[in-house]
Amino acid sequence: MTAVRVAALQMRSGQSVARNVADFEALVREAAGRGATYVQSPEMTGALMRDRAALRAVLKPEGEDPVERAAGRLAAELGIVVHVGSTAIARPDGKVANRAFLFGPDGGLLATYDKIHMFDVDLDNGESWRESATYEPGTAATVADLPFGRLGMAVCYDVRFPQLFRAQALAGAQILTAPAAFTRQTGSAHWHVLQRARAIENGAFVVSAAQGGLHEDGRETYGHSLIVDPWGRVVAEADHDEPGVVVADIDLAEVAEARGKIPNLKNARDFAVAHAGAAMAAGG
């Protein structure tokens, strides 16, 4: 089987975990009702809140998190793959993980992934973020075998680090993912081009569910959940920041076709970086 119907859920997660879980469940059911057998939610499905103390007060460890439990239950009930883009998880060492979960059609946990790259930035108009002050970065890339193909897992800011996606593609990933809570400021500038670039560079589909709109904690996220094909074409998009479901039929045979036309994964060569200025100065 090379064809599959995939869905990206666009959410506007707030500070109530219970309400977010209810919204997540409703959107998963809508996606499954539209025939999707792979459903992905955005980064921080469970809660979006700036207040670190408030966030820590609602954290649960893996196995007890309500989003994680709902995802496994829905996957088994609906017979689909459910990919929680990420949610905040209490680690045993007292730190916090920005963790993605992937459940198979039997409800079993197939894989997890902890976001590697922390969004520590100072943007225009005083907007500043320090994810490393709250979250412990992951240290390993993750690829997972699904009934229809191999999938690479990433989260949000990871999309700016092409080496992560290249490593997954070289490990056989045909579908790459970057579920996100992109800020409106960075999203309007870079969201589309980054998603399309990762698809083109790796000859892979990219599926990225997004948070969108004005959230309870005051942040604004860009929305525009996307599904991109291996040639870099947007095949489905939520052209707005409202909650909803984006669905597309994709054929993984297009991955081999794209990689056959432009075999850059095979043609890549190791190289050194020569510092010509230093050499010229030394010789002068």
Query: Mapping DSSP to helix (H, G, I), strand (E, B) and coil, where does residue 266 land?
Result: helix
Catalytic residue among 60, 95, 156, 237: 156
Distance between first and last Cα of the chain: 63
- With CA atoms as reference, report the closest residue to 226 among 212, 209, 203, 243: 209
Which are the contacts of 261, defined by CB distance < 8 A and separation ≥ 6?
none
Distance CA 25, CA 43 (A): 15
Catalytic residue among 25, 30, 115, 127: 115
Catalytic residue among 25, 30, 43, 237: 43
CB–CB of 189/178 below 8 Å?
no
Catalytic-residue membership of 115: yes
CB–CB of 113/69 below 8 Å?
no
Catalytic-residue membership of 156: yes
- Tell me which residues are annotated as active site: 43, 115, 156
